[in-house]
């Protein structure tokens, strides 16, 4: 698959099969992620790969965060809600927590480190698509919560930039459309 086909053909795949994904494929997509552009060659990313019961870390974090905001619920209702939160971690056979892990390089700004980490995730998504995998980049309030940070033992300067759910697509092919680039482009010419 050429790069233009990968860019135009990639879609967020939120429903995947439970079939396991070969570790070698996951290693390939992470390798692709590490080729993202990064100012001063700081490589400000790391990836936490969760499979099998390794996804429990994420599920327990979802449940702990939800429990903080639930207030008083009867025991059965609380247990049901927490089980629903934990189940989010098991929506795909592989979940990758993408982390911005800023370097100590004094010339690197935090904004550049975050941008590089986001570019790494885009590379990861494109590589997954090119290898026949479905993936979706999830975020949302729980991802930024201190309990999620704690669950992954992130350092003080580190932050999650995405939870990428990966598996073999269980969705019909999605059509994609974008506005023409000309509508989003301004030329300054002399």
Question: Per the annotation, where are the binding residues?
Answer: 10-12, 39, 137-139
- Annotated binding-site residues for FMN read 10-12, 39, 137-139
Q: Residue 140: which of 29, 41, 58, 75 has the closest Cα?
A: 58
Residues 6 or more apart in contact with residue 50 via CB below 8 angstroms: 57, 58, 89, 94, 95, 96, 97
Query: Which tokens sit at 123?
Result: 């590379």
* Distance separating alpha carbons of residues 142 and 147, to the nearest angstrom: 8
Residues 6 or more apart in contact with residue 53 via CB below 8 angstroms: none
* Distance separating alpha carbons of residues 154 and 152, to the nearest angstrom: 5
Left (φ > 0), alpha (ψ -120 to 50) or beta: where does 74 sit?
A: beta
* Distance separating alpha carbons of residues 159 and 120, to the nearest angstrom: 14
């Amino acid at each position: 698959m050429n790069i233009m086909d990968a860019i135009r053909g990639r879609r967020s795949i939120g429903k995947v099969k439970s079939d396991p994904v070969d570790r070698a494929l996951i290693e390939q997509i992470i390798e692709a992620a590490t080729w993202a552009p990064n100012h001063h060659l700081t490589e400000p990313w790391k990836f936490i790969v969760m499979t099998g019961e390794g996804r429990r870390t994420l599920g327990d974090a979802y449940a702990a965060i939800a429990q903080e905001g639930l207030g008083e619920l009867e025991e059965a209702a609380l247990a049901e809600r927490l089980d629903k939160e934990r189940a989010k971690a098991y929506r795909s056979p592989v979940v990758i927590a993408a982390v911005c892990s800023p370097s100590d390089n004094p010339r690197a700004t935090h904004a550049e480190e975050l941008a590089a980490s986001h570019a790494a995730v885009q590379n990861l998504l494109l590589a997954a698509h090119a290898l026949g995998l479905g993936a979706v980049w999830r975020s949302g309030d729980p991802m930024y919560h201190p309990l999620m940070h704690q669950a992954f033992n992130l350092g003080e300067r580190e932050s999650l930039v995405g939870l990428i759910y990966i598996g073999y697509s269980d969705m019909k092919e999605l059509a994609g459309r974008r506005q023409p680039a000309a509508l989003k482009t301004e030329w300054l010419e002399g």
